[in-house]
């Protein structure tokens, strides 16, 4: 439905009135524009709520009490597109959500485009006029916001309820609504982004020895502590590349850090702490930095993983979905290194949803040379 009207709500007296104007909407579209590119914690700069021609643009920087918004959202279905980007910033403001739907999850399970712009055009014929890349670079924390930014933000949610209605029908028709329910529950159960951070994901550490890994761990830990206490994006303190460089060739003085990729301000604010962390690292091997896998990856392992990759792609094509939706690539090597002898042993070791295992049990059995139990190739649960 065309967007007929939107209103910026930056006055406490207007919040309840604007939400009352949306009282007839159920479901309702919800989105959050964030201003956290330089911050550690996700921060909401604008909250969009609406649909069916009217959207309220709620300014959390101007409103201390968002209890009316929480009450409004808990009474109806809130439709998000990629809710993992939005729910956490809302909860950090004390706004809890009731029932939710996610159009991005639904689209992925149907083999449809997951980008909102492409999805709206393909299913509803709706074109978003704004330059999305420009809006993503915009400073949503700056006030006052430009009219073009407000129009873009409103358009992002205006058609979400209609989009969900279409996807809901398609999920049931395809027999994949149960898949959707499982995926949605898994996304909602995920810890906050900050709590999922892990030093072992530092880029460039694959070939480091144990001593260098211990130094990376120490640098990563202090960077994480500094980032949290100052609400600074870790990359603004020191990039992963810089951490690896410092761990491989430890500097002798703070003044060297500027030549090793750190910004001047970061050196002033955080340099001494980084060097202290390096100096405190013991050269003794530590179990904390031992490889996660029980053995080295062999050429045979790689061949099996490649075979799994081919079979996964074939099954995904049969289902009409992306291979990564059917099974994340990281799971393939995990399956190989588990050295399973039974399907039950492998199932317990893999981070897969039930619907994914049902579609892939025979694929794993074929590639890893043991029997399988599942619904079998191409079988899908009934709605």
Per-residue burial over 205-219, b if 16 or more Cβ lie within 10 Å, else e, is beebeebbbbbbbbb
User: Average pLDDT, stretch 256-271?
Assistant: 97
Nearby residues of 45 by Cβ (< 8 Å), 6 or more positions away: 33, 34, 35, 60, 61, 140, 141
For the CA atoms of 270, 274, 277, 279, the dihedral, rounded to the nearest 10 degrees, stands at: -130
**pLDDT for 305 beyond 70:** yes
354: Cα separation from own chain's centroid: 21
**For residue 188, what pLDDT is reported?**
96
pLDDT score of 382 more than 60: no
Q: Report whether 10 contacts 60 (CB < 8 A).
A: no
**Nearest-angstrom CA–CA distance, 94 and 80:** 18
pLDDT at 338 exceeding the cut of 50: yes
pLDDT score, position 287:
55
Query: What digits encode the pLDDT tens for the residues 75-132?
Result: 999 999 999 999 999 999 999 999 999 999 999 999 999 999 999 999 999 998 778 8
> Burial level of 355, CB count in 10 A (0-12/13-18/19+)?
buried
pLDDT of residue 298: 93
Question: Three-state SS for 100?
Answer: strand
> How much is the average pLDDT of 289-308?
81
Cα-based distances in Å from 276 to 234, 252, 281? 18, 11, 9
> Higher confidence at residue 207 or residue 178?
178
Q: Residue 376 — very low, low, confident or very high, per pLDDT cuts 50/70/90?
A: very low
Confidence of residue 153 (pLDDT cuts 50, 70, 90): very high
C-alpha torsion angle, residues 49, 53, 54, 57 (rounded to 10): 50
Q: Give the model's pLDDT for residue 383.
A: 39
Q: Which residue has the tokens 């690896």?
A: 244
Q: What average pLDDT does the structure give for the chain?
A: 92
Task: Find, among 297, 308, 363, the residue nearest to 332 by Cα.
Answer: 308
Q: Average pLDDT, stretch 13-36?
A: 96
Give the pair of three-digit tokens for residue 342: 């039974």
pLDDT: which is higher, 366 or 292:
366
348-375 pLDDT, tens digit each:
999 999 999 999 999 999 999 875 454 4
- Identify the pLDDT of residue 284: 53
- Dihedral angle at the C-alpha atoms of 348, 349, 351, 353, nearest 10 degrees? -30
**Of 45, 79, 256, 42, the residue nearest 156 (C-alpha):** 79
pLDDT average, residue stretch 249-278: 96
Which DSSP letter does residue 27 get?
S
- Contact 21/57 with Cβ under 8 angstroms? no
- The structure's pTM equals 0.90
Strands in 78-80's sheet, in edge-to-edge order, are 5-9, 54-58, 44-51, 28-34, 78-80, 100-102
Amino acid 377: pLDDT: 44
Residue 326, burial from CB neighbour count under 10 angstroms (0-12, 13-18, 19+): buried
Whether 133 shows a pLDDT value over 90: the answer reads: no
Per-residue pLDDT band at 34 (split at 50, 70, 90): very high
For each of the domains in the chain, give its residue range(s) and CATH number, in order of start: 5-194 (3.30.420.10), 199-289 (1.10.150.80), 299-368 (1.10.150.80)
């Amino acid at each position: 439905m065309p967007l007929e009207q939107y209103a910026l709500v930056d006055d406490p007296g207007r919040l309840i009135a604007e939400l009352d104007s949306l009282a007839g909407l159920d479901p309702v579209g919800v989105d959050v524009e964030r201003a956290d590119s330089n911050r550690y914690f996700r921060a909401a700069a604008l909250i969009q709520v609406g649909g069916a021609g009217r959207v309220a643009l709620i300014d959390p920087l101007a409103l201390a009490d968002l209890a009316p918004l929480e009450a409004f959202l808990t009474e109806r279905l809130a439709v998000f597109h990629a809710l993992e980007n939005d729910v956490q910033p809302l909860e950090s403001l004390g706004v809890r959500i009731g029932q939710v739907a996610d159009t991005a999850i639904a689209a992925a399970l149907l083999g449809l485009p997951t980008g909102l712009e492409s999805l709206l055009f393909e299913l509803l014929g709706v074109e978003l006029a704004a330059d999305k890349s420009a809006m993503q670079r915009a400073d949503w924390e700056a006030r006052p916001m430009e009219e073009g930014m407000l129009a873009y933000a409103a358009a992002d949610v205006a058609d979400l309820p209609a989009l969900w209605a279409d996807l809901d029908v398609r999920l049931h028709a395809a027999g994949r609504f149960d898949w959707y329910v499982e995926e949605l529950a898994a996304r909602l159960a995920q810890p906050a982004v900050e709590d999922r951070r892990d030093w072992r994901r530092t880029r460039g550490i694959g070939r480091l020895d144990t001593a260098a890994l211990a130094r990376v761990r120490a640098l990563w830990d202090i960077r994480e502590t500094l980032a949290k206490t100052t609400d600074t994006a870790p990359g603004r303190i020191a990039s992963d590349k810089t951490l690896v460089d410092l761990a491989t060739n430890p500097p002798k003085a703070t003044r060297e850090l500027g030549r090793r990729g750190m910004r001047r301000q970061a050196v002033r604010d955080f340099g001494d702490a980084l060097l202290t962390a390096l100096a405190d690292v013991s050269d003794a091997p530590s179990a904390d930095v031992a490889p996660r896998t029980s053995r080295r990856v062999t050429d045979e392992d790689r061949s099996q993983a490649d075979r799994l990759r081919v079979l996964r792609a074939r099954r995904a094509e049969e289902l009409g979905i992306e291979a990564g939706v059917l099974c994340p690539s990281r799971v393939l090597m995990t399956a190989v290194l588990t050295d399973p002898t039974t399907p039950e042993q492998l199932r317990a070791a893999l981070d897969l949803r039930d619907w994914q295992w049902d579609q892939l049990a025979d694929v794993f059995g074929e590639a890893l040379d043991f029997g399988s139990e599942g619904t079998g190739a191409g079988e899908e649960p009934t709605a």
